[in-house]
Amino acid sequence: MSVEWAAPAVVLEVRPHGEGGAVVTLLTEEHGRHAGLAKGGASRAQAGLWLPGNLIEARWIARLADQLGALSGEMVHPAAALAMEDPLALALLSSACAIAADALPEREAHPRAFHALVSVIAHLAGGAEDVLADYVRWEALVLTELGYGLDLSACAVTGVRDGLTHVSPRTGRAVSAEAAAPYGDRLLALPGFLLTDEAAGDPAGWDAGLRLTGHFLERDAFGARHRPVPEARHRLAHRVAALAASV
- Report the pLDDT value the prediction gives residue 194, as an integer from 0 to 100: 96
- Report the pLDDT value the prediction gives residue 189, as an integer from 0 to 100: 97
Decide: 194 and 209 in contact? Cβ < 8 Å: yes
- Report the pLDDT value the prediction gives residue 208, as an integer from 0 to 100: 98
- Report the pLDDT value the prediction gives residue 198, as an integer from 0 to 100: 81
- Report the pLDDT value the prediction gives residue 2, as an integer from 0 to 100: 85
What is the pTM for the complete model shown? 0.95
Q: Residue 240: pLDDT above 90?
A: yes
- Report the pLDDT value the prediction gives residue 84, as an integer from 0 to 100: 92
Q: Residue 1: pLDDT above 80?
A: no
Closest CA to 56 of 99, 97, 17, 18: 97
Decide: 236 and 95 in contact? Cβ < 8 Å: yes
- Report the pLDDT value the prediction gives residue 20, as an integer from 0 to 100: 87
Least confident of 108-117, 175-184, 186-195, 233-242: 175-184
Q: Residue 47: pLDDT above 90?
A: no
> Amino acid identity of 8?
P
Helix axis angle, 231-246 to 87-103, nearest 10°: 140
pLDDT > 90: percent of the chain: 89
Name 209's Cβ contacts closer than 8 Å, sequence gap at least 6: 133, 136, 191, 193, 194, 201
Angle at 189 between CA 185 and CA 194, to 5 degrees: 170
d(CA 171, CA 190): 14
pLDDT > 70: percent of the chain: 100
Q: What is the DSSP string of the chain?
A: --EEEEEEEEEEEEEEETTTEEEEEEEETTTEEEEEEETTTTSHHHHTTT-TT-EEEEEEEESSTTS--EEEEEEEE-HHHHHTT-HHHHHHHHHHHHHHHHHSPBT---HHHHHHHHHHHHHGGG-GGGTHHHHHHHHHHHHHHTT---B-SS-TTT---S-EEEE-TTT-BEEEHHHHGGGGGGSEE--GGGG-SS----HHHHHHHHHHHHHHIIIIIIGGGT-PPPHHHHHHHHHHHHHHHH-
pLDDT in tens, 193-228: 999 888 899 999 999 999 999 999 999 999 999 999
Whole-number mean pLDDT of the chain? Answer: 95
- Report the pLDDT value the prediction gives residue 197, as an integer from 0 to 100: 86
Rounded average pLDDT over 100-113: 97
User: Measured over all CA atoms, what is the biggest interatomic distance in the chain, rounded to whole angstroms?
Assistant: 66
pLDDT in tens, 142-201: 999 999 999 999 999 999 999 999 999 999 999 999 999 998 789 999 999 999 888 899
Closest CA to 167 of 155, 181, 149: 155
